Amino acid sequence: MTLNENDKKIIFDSIRDIHDFPKPGIVFKDITTLLNNKQAFKLLMDHLEERYKDYNLDYIAGIDSRGFIFGAPLADRLGIGFVPVRKKGKLPSTTICEKYELEYGFDEVEVHLDAFNEEVGCRVLLIDDLIATGGTAVASAKLVKDTKADLVEVCFLMNLDFLKGVPKVEKIAPVYSILEI
């Protein structure tokens, strides 16, 4: 299930570009203007609910932090649990972590060891707002798999196609992107 071109345009037009943020040469995709646009946000959430209602999901895992914004309300709409995948040091209980490479250095994401209530094979959707080079998404997908969950799909609102992150994630799980940029 995909959105028609008009619906994609409504969502796309509600996302603001901020040039030279967080550093010169970067065009930041600001979703705050999507979130405060009730028509666009409802259209997006209705689409996600329709797409995933028959996937028999047990959990949605959202990537820190914008994945929380879409993942938690979607989990509520589907009547399932939500699990945050956080940057290192943000979760209070026992965690497992995955390191990934940045342009200069490394970072880590983590999830609680019992995030999916130790349910082997539970069906999980991983979600985030945007995929660029794929480092965070790949690390997050590996974490979900490390918990013995079944990672059904990884969903992104936007795919910055020119940065080639999706093929890296597709080695781990199927990917669905709403907007190709």
The catalytic site residues sit at 66, 103
Task: Copy the structure tokens of residue 119.
Answer: 């349910």
d(CA 3, CA 176): 12
**What one-character DSSP code corresponds to residue 29?**
E
Q: Identify which of 108, 101, 111, 99 has the alpha carbon closest to the alpha carbon of residue 144.
A: 111
1-7 own/partner pairs: CB under 8 Å, 24+ apart: 1/47, 1/50, 1/51, 2/178, 3/43, 3/47, 3/178, 7/43, 7/47
Strand partners, 99: 108
- For the chain, give the number of residues: 181
